[in-house]
Amino acid sequence: MKKQLTLAVCLIALSGCSSYRTNSDMSFDSTDALPAHTANLLPIGIDVTGKKYDELGTVKASIKKLTAFHKNPTQEQANIILSHEAKKLDADAVIDVTYDSGIALDSWGRMKAEGTAIKFTK
């Protein structure tokens, strides 16, 4: 009985820690608090047909769920990180975005995204 109680206390303590690990300096404690992160997002995955732009480079996002008790990482979280990383390149938008989700050996769930940061030209 004592072992079961100790295990339950450990699981509860772990579930209160940060829920997601990212490849960025951004962090997410839950998927419910995302509006605070979305204030100044760059356009993600927009159609740039007929518009002139320079490609600045590839930006990547990786979010891993650290416990089985939290929601799976979302495309919205990935878009926030893509926007954040593209801003570091002084980009105006991110195009050609691809997403990949699933589970990994080192996490309970993951979301990866990759796109091209661009700067519009005149």
Task: Kindly tell me if the per-residue pLDDT of 58 is higher than 90.
Answer: yes
> How would DSSP label each residue in 64-102?
EE-STTSPPP-HHHHHHHHHHHHHTTT-SEEEEEEEEEE
Q: Is 58 exposed, middle or buried (0-12, 13-18, 19+ CB in 10 A)?
A: middle
Task: Kindly tell me if the per-residue pLDDT of 118 is higher than 50.
Answer: yes
- 113 or 10, greater pLDDT: 113
What is the pTM (predicted TM-score) of this model?
0.75
Contact 115, 82 (CB under 8 A): yes
